[in-house]
Amino acid sequence: MPTSLAPSPRDLGRKLLEAKTAVFTKLRKDVWALGGNANIGIDLDYTMFGNSLVGVIASGTAVIIERQD
């Protein structure tokens, strides 16, 4: 019976969602650490390392949004 080392589509989707959630959490923490309250221009890039390791690279610009009356 042939076997595949590649993740199933369901497993890959789950891994991508977990990685995306982790990177957005990190971006939020980084924005707060820089004194900002929002992140604009977010760019996400995904990559696979081998058959099971998913990498997500994110960048954006930390800004301060103020209400103008």
Does residue 20 belong to any structural domain of this protein? yes
Q: In a 10 Å sphere around its CB, with 0-12 CB exposed, 13-18 middle and 19+ buried, how is residue 67 labelled?
A: exposed
Q: How many domains does the chain have?
A: 1
pLDDT given at position 68: 92
Range of the domain at 29: 9-63
Does residue 48 belong to any structural domain of this protein? yes
Does residue 1 belong to any structural domain of this protein? no
Does residue 39 belong to any structural domain of this protein? yes
pTM exceeds 0.75: no
Cα 7 from Cα 44, distance rounded (Å): 21
pLDDT given at position 2: 55
Does residue 68 belong to any structural domain of this protein? no
Does residue 14 belong to any structural domain of this protein? yes
pLDDT per residue rounded down to tens, the chain (69 residues): 555 566 677 887 888 888 889 999 999 999 999 999 999 999 999 888 887 777 888 999 999 999 998
pLDDT given at position 3: 58
